[in-house]
Amino acid sequence: MALTETWRWFGPNDPILLQEIKQTGAEEIVTALHHIPVGAVWSTDEILKRKEIIESEGLRWSVIESIPVHENIKKRKGNYKSLIENYKTSVSNAGKCGIKIICYNFMPVLDWSRTNLNVIFRDGSITSSFESKVFASFDLFILKRDDAEKDYTPDQIQNANEYFEGLTTRQKEELTNTILLGFPGSLESYSLNELKSAINDYKGIDKTSLQDNLFELLKEILPVAEETSIMMAIHPDDPPWPLLGLPRIVSDRNDIHKILYVYNSLNSGLAFCTGSLGAGIKNDLVEMAEIFANRINFAHLRNVNRNESGDFIEENHLDGEIDLYSIMRTLIIEQNRREKKGLINKLLPYRPDHGHLMIPDKERENIYPGYSLFGRMRGLSELRGMELAIRRSLDLP
């Protein structure tokens, strides 16, 4: 049984059609109900409507990415208890509708962060990158976050200032728009004042507090996941270190171990994102894949080049500094083990995560950065070929 090839689709408003996805060879869809407000219940009717659209094109909906966790749950404030009940209902309804996996994250305020979404790559395609001094210049001199200077060394502040002084007004606007860009699936974004307000709401919440808030959520939703055969998969922080004075709690091996074993269940698993974790140069991804293999419920496979300063650029899938060959080999061996034992989490889906914007896609409108057709199709093809070679080397069907 091969790894399950999936494709992230943002629903009916996605400029990439299900018919096109089918021609990539992917058979299963990763999607979410982006039109439902964060915190509201996903009804079985809404889930089945989306499922019917997908199945009408000969595809299957196997992974939800994601049912967003409301900020009040993360902060344990306001109506967080009723929001947890809503989340439990949504998980239950997903299970009743035959969905197998729910990917989610617990990142405060921002789902991901980049400083440039229009990097011209060496082959002329478009990719994204993160530069620490650029992000610091936004934080210190555009956002002007309270006490931001406490999070940077004198050298970092000087470098950020020199960079900021060299920017034109237009470049400052472009940087602001890039960092404020909304969550995947939405081209909406924060305003500067909204971002400041969202950050201020986390005052007094440190890493330990945020971890405790996640653990409370898990203790509530995992019994529901077990009852309805849903495999949960928490996504790592992107990038895997604190930003804007906000804590991060899914950034390294120790973080992940705490999360997976606070409630020891196969239904509590990891979305192993090689790009997010790989941006952290101290993370040994091959080792982490081996350690957490039995709890990887979903995989995002992409590649990066990075340095010790916290800068990184998204590479082609089989280039870059992440050893995707060894990671995929570990996933194949683990999936084979699960199948032989008939485990409840025997499915091990992956998707080609992000792809460069290539010439045929440049005329499409509203493509979310990293989610082009041809860039991801190239990645999927490369990963599919690598899987076949590994399986034959292991004498697996």
Q: With beta carbons less than 8 A apart as the criterion, state whether 271 and 259 touch.
A: no
| CA atoms of 136 and 141, how far apart (whole Å) | 8
Q: Is 296 helix (H, G, I), strand (E, B) or coil?
A: strand
72 residue type, one letter? N
Q: In what order do the strands lie in the sheet with 116-120?
A: 116-120, 126-130, 312-315, 303-306
| CA atoms of 138 and 115, how far apart (whole Å) | 9
Catalytic residues: 235, 273, 300, 353-354, 371
Q: Would you state the structure tokens that stand for residue 165, as one six-digit string?
A: 């002084």
Q: What residues contact 63, with CB distance under 8 A and at least 6 apart?
A: 6, 28, 29, 30, 99, 100, 101, 102, 103, 298, 349, 351
| CA atoms of 339 and 352, how far apart (whole Å) | 23
| CA atoms of 227 and 315, how far apart (whole Å) | 40
Residue 189, judged by CB atoms within 10 A of its CB (0-12, 13-18, 19+), counts as: middle
Cα 346–chain centre separation: 22
Cα 259–chain centre separation: 17
Residue 280, judged by CB atoms within 10 A of its CB (0-12, 13-18, 19+), counts as: buried
